[in-house]
Amino acid sequence: MAGAEIQANAIWTALHGLPLRDVAAVINLLLVAMLSFAVPLLRIRLRVLPAALMGPLLALGLLAGAQIAFDHGAIVWLSAPLLAVALGTVTMIIASHLSETATRRRVAQDNDVLEAKVRERTQQLRRTQLEILQRLSRAAEWRDEDTGLHITRMGKLSELLAEALGLPAHETETLGHAAVAHDMGKIAIPDRILLKPGPLTPDERIEMQRHAAIGASMLGDSESDVMQLAETIARTHHERWDGSGYPDGLRGPEIPLAGRICGLCDVFDALVSERTYKQPWPLDRALDEIAAQRGRHFDPELVDAFLEIAAPAYRRLYGAGVTKPRVDRAA
């Protein structure tokens, strides 16, 4: 406006009793308080981003309301309410961030505790499975007193041979636990056959051979990795590399590695242990027999690995000295 127009407006305002008035201080203070808490209260119902966007909308609403009030002769505070909106919005964002951080930290701690409990429970269940497997295997073993610590030695021999082959540690450990159940099916074989001191008749031998399939059926349909491996071992540890074994006549690599390993260890322990029908063989003679069956009864690679660990394994498990066996590598 030109200077004269400004002066005219000023004179008009003075003649009309100065119509612009400040609103009551209590109203301004209430307005500041309301705008301070508006965004934090909205956060209760809204997510962080929508609640934060309400801050600028409230500021725009304040400006529009102040203009309307001014047009009607009332002057309201602007700086303090706008600052209240800004501080309320910033405070809400910071508080939400700190709250979510604390929640994440608490959830992470709860998850760690839960995972620790799950691991502990899983280990407890595995120990229970292994104990049950051991006890069932011993139940079958006790029917044949001549076997003595056979299942314990079988588990350790199988684990040592698996280590010599370079299998991972968790696989060798599982194999050692599963190997103890290799003769589980003998629990179903009649005593007149199982404990017979002399050679078996052809019919008795057929009956005895049923223990492989029986043991596998006893251990079957389990979700446990140990039980599944024990089932495989029980069924296949009497298969032969040349296909002349039982119960399925598997040949060569068709025989699962666990069955091949346990089959070799089972024969070795039987040779060097006392039975009702035989005296224990000297180690040299037993290893000569193992070497002679390379490529026939046993996987050649397994025979080579076993002969390398035979001496320390025999001293450890049987407590006797050894000499190096004669090996026919051409077999």
Choosing from 156, 186, 278, 324, which is the catalytic residue? 186
The answer, yes or no, to whether residue 304 has pLDDT greater than 90, is yes
Lowest mean pLDDT among 133-137, 261-265, 294-298: 133-137
The pLDDT value recorded for residue 320 is 53
Number of other CB atoms surrounding residue 169 within 10 Å: 10
**Rg of the chain's alpha carbons, rounded to an integer?**
43
Select from 330, 246, 316, 314 the least CA-distant residue to 280: 314
Select from 150, 179, 326, 144 the least CA-distant residue to 260: 179
Number of other CB atoms surrounding residue 8 within 10 Å: 12
The pLDDT value recorded for residue 159 is 95
H or E element, residue 194: helix 191-194
Q: State the pLDDT confidence band at 330, using cuts at 50, 70 and 90.
A: very low
User: Going from the N-terminus, what domains does the chain have, and what CATH number goes with each?
Assistant: 3-112 (no CATH), 143-318 (1.10.3210.10)
Is 117 in the active site? no
- Tokens 């505070």 sit on residue: 77
The pLDDT value recorded for residue 243 is 96
Mean pLDDT, residues 88-96: 90
**Residue 331 near residue 292, CB atoms below 8 Å:** yes
Answering whether pTM is above 0.85, one says no
Lowest mean pLDDT among 14-18, 105-109, 306-310: 14-18
Pairing status of strand 21-22 against strand 74-75: parallel
CB crowding 111-144: b at 16 or more within 10 Å, else e: eeeeeeeeeeeeeeeeeebbeebbebbeebbeeb
Select from 299, 297, 326, 296 the least CA-distant residue to 310: 326
H or E element, residue 74: strand 74-75
Q: Peptide bond before 247: cis, by omega within 30 degrees of 0?
A: yes
pLDDT digits (tens, 9 = 90+) for 216-249: 998 988 888 898 999 999 999 999 999 999 999 9
The pLDDT value recorded for residue 71 is 79
Q: Which two tokens stand for residue 290?
A: 């193992």
CA distances from 41 to 47, 52, 88, 92, 107 (A): 11, 11, 10, 9, 25
The pLDDT value recorded for residue 20 is 74
The answer, yes or no, to whether residue 145 has pLDDT greater than 90, is no
Higher-scoring residue by pLDDT: 157, 328:
157
CA distances from 183 to 59, 117, 214, 232, 268 (A): 83, 35, 9, 12, 15
The pLDDT value recorded for residue 274 is 81
Report the mean per-residue pLDDT for the chain: 86
